[in-house]
């Protein structure tokens, strides 16, 4: 089962997060029918978003949005408390040949662009607060390095980020996925940073470890080495969208009475597809009539 943990290390001078996200990424890939390289990119962004939002409180929301000039065009992932995550891409069928080393050309399919992070609180309660929005230019398009660059430049937190998605030709398409995020707090010292860098440099490949059964705790041990850590919280992870038939009704009714009446007359109904999860909601004639009669528009 997918799981996310977060905690502290090195006498509370380092913040640590690790997650297994195989099932969540698998569900996103299934819903959006993404190509192999896009699947790897989307899985990395979803995993990085979960790690960045590891300590979100109830009614908080964190969104990572990549505006890309490459073939994928754009990637969006959103997470809320409780390990719930969803995501989508603008061009799910974009594809490029593998690199010379056989790995997916994620950087090529992303290309240049901008990396945005939006933090919101209380939005779903109707308590509007000015969201925090940070942005940096995409550095490599490999995703993990872009998360680390964002943290260093926009939030002034030196970080190490490891993200991985392993695919195979046969079902299940997504073999495994997960990631680790290590954030150096202002009280940390350079020696600890050097130790972590050296440990990561000599650590096994992330997806290899996950495929062989590694849990989030194992991923932390793999990246921290002899440095002790303490888990402060953990949660199950799942792909979950907040769309619903009622939300579809609200969205269509917001188009106005004239538009709804036109849908009723010309199309005898309406169809709405959620961009985040590809769920399709169909409203028939009775639904539209009820909308007009109850003056919801």
Tens digit of pLDDT for each residue in 224-250? 999 999 999 999 999 999 999 998 988
Q: Give yes or no: residues 10 and 81 share one domain.
A: yes
Count of domains in the chain?
A: 2
CA angle 285, 288, 293 (to 5 degrees): 120
Q: Give yes or no: residues 223 and 253 share one domain.
A: no
Query: pLDDT tens digits, residue range 53-105?
Result: 998 988 899 999 999 999 999 999 999 999 999 999 999 999 999 998 889 99
Contacts of 74 by beta carbon, 8 Å cutoff, 6+ apart:
65, 66, 67, 68, 89, 90, 91
CATH code of the domain in which 227 resides: 3.55.30.10
Q: Give yes or no: residues 177 and 192 share one domain.
A: yes
Of 219, 239, 259, which one is at a domain's C-terminal end? 239
**Of 291 and 117, the one with more pLDDT:** 117
CA angle 141, 145, 148 (to 5 degrees): 135
Q: Give yes or no: residues 173 and 284 share one domain.
A: no
Q: Give yes or no: residues 204 and 264 share one domain.
A: no
Domain with 288 in it: 245-293
Q: Give yes or no: residues 266 and 284 share one domain.
A: yes
Q: Give yes or no: residues 215 and 250 share one domain.
A: no
Query: Are 204 and 210 within 8 A, CB to CB?
Result: no
pTM assigned to the model: 0.92
Q: Give yes or no: residues 34 and 114 share one domain.
A: yes
Q: Give yes or no: residues 229 and 255 share one domain.
A: no
Q: Give yes or no: residues 258 and 225 share one domain.
A: no
Q: Give yes or no: residues 259 and 160 share one domain.
A: no
97: left (phi over 0), alpha (psi -120 to 50) or beta: beta
Query: pLDDT tens digits, residue range 243-283?
Result: 999 989 888 988 888 888 888 888 888 888 999 999 999 98
Q: Give yes or no: residues 114 and 254 share one domain.
A: no
Contacts of 153 by beta carbon, 8 Å cutoff, 6+ apart:
136
Q: Which two tokens stand for residue 50?
A: 């979960």
* CB neighbour burial string for 201-232, b if at least 16 within 10 angstroms, e if fewer: eebeebbebbbeebebeebbbbbbeebebeee
Of 239, 267, 284, which one is at a domain's C-terminal end? 239
CATH code of the domain in which 273 resides: 3.90.1280.10
Whole-number Å distance between alpha carbons of 12 and 167: 36
């Amino acid at each position: 089962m997918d799981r996310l943990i977060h905690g502290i290390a090195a006498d509370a001078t380092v913040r640590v997060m690790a997650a297994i996200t195989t099932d969540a990424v698998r569900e996103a890939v299934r819903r959006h029918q993404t190509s192999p390289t896009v699947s790897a990119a989307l899985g990395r962004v979803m995993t990085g978003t979960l790690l960045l939002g590891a300590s979100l409180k109830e009614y908080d929301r964190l969104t990572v949005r990549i505006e890309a000039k490459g073939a994928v065009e754009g990637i969006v992932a959103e997470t809320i408390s409780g390990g719930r995550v969803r995501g989508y891409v603008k061009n799910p069928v974009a594809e490029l040949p593998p690199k010379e080393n056989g790995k997916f050309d994620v950087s090529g399919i992303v290309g240049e662009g901008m990396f945005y992070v939006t933090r919101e609180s209380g939005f779903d309660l109707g308590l509007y607060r000015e969201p925090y929005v940070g942005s940096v230019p995409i550095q490599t398009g490999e995703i993990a390095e872009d998360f680390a660059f964002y943290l260093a430049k926009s939030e002034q937190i030196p970080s190490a980020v490891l993200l991985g998605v392993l695919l195979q030709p046969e079902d299940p398409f997504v073999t495994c996925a997960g990631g680790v995020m290590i954030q150096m707090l202002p009280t940390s010292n350079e020696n600890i940073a050097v130790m972590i860098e050296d440990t990561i440099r000599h650590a096994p490949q992330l997806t290899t470890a996950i495929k062989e059964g590694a849990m989030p705790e194992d991923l932390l041990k793999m990246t921290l080495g002899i440095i002790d850590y303490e888990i402060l919280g953990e949660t199950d992870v799942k792909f979950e969208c907040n769309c619903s038939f009622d939300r579809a009704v609200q969205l269509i009714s917001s188009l106005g009475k004239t538009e709804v009446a036109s849908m009723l007359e010309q199309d005898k109904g309406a169809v709405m597809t959620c961009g985040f999860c590809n769920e399709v909601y169909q409203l028939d004639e009775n639904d539209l009539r009820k909308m007009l009669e109850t003056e919801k528009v």
